[in-house]
Amino acid sequence: MSRRRFADLADAGRQLGAALTESYGGHDDALILGIEPHGLVVGQAAAQVLGLPVLGLAPDGPAPAEVVDRVVLVVDDGVESGGTATRLAALLRASGPARLVLAVPVCPREPYSALTRSYDEVIALERPFMVRSLAWHYVDPPDPGGESAGS
C-alpha cells in the first residue's frame, strides 16, 4: 500500500459505514460497539452512515446488556495483532448476540485469518500483507493518548 487511505478516524468510519450499508444499514436488530477510544470515533461515523445505534466498549469492560439477540458490529480503528479483538469476541459471545461481526478499516492478513474463527464475519477495508502501526494508514494519525489507531 503506497498511500494512506484514511484522512482520519471519522473518514475511516464513513468509508466503513458505506461498505457495510448493503448488509447492515438500517437493520433494527443491529448495534455498533465502538472500542474505546479510537474505535468509538470510527463507530460513531459508521453509525451515522448506517442509521444504527452505537455504544462505546472499553477493551477491558463488561459486555453491554444490549448485545443479547442482536447483530453486533464490533468496530475499532484497526487491528495490529488481533489480541484485543479476540478477547472481545469471547466476552461478547458469552452475552448471546445473534451474530458477531468485526468491522475495521485495517486488518493485516495473518490476524484476519485468525479472527475469522472468533467472529461470524470479519470485514476489513484494507488487508495489508505486512503489519504496520495503525497510525501509518491515516493521513492525520490518531493521538496515541486517545484523542483522535490500535488493537
Judge whether residue 24 has pLDDT over 80: yes
- pLDDT at position 151 is 45
The contacts of residue 31 (CB under 8 Å, 6+ apart) are 52, 53, 54, 55, 66, 67, 70, 71, 72, 73
Whole-number Å distance between alpha carbons of 28 and 50: 11
Judge whether residue 150 has pLDDT over 50: no
Whole-number Å distance between alpha carbons of 77 and 28: 24
**Among the listed ranges 81-85, 135-139, 142-146, which one has the minimum average pLDDT value?**
142-146
Instruction: Considering only residues 148 and 8, tell me which one the structure prediction assigns the higher pLDDT.
Output: 8
Taking the model in full, what pTM does it have? Answer: 0.90
- pLDDT at position 146 is 55
Q: Is 54 helix (H, G, I), strand (E, B) or coil?
A: strand
- pLDDT at position 94 is 95
pLDDT digits (tens, 9 = 90+) for 31-75: 999 999 999 999 999 999 999 999 999 988 899 999 999 999 999
pLDDT digits (tens, 9 = 90+) for 74-130: 999 999 999 999 999 999 999 999 999 999 999 999 999 999 999 999 999 999 887
What residue type is assigned to position 115 of the chain?
L
Q: Is 55 helix (H, G, I), strand (E, B) or coil?
A: strand
Rounded average pLDDT over 21-33? 94
- pLDDT at position 138 is 76
Judge whether residue 149 has pLDDT over 60: no
**Cβ neighbour number for residue 54 with a 10 Å cutoff:** 21
**Among the listed ranges 15-19, 57-61, 142-146, which one has the minimum average pLDDT value?**
142-146
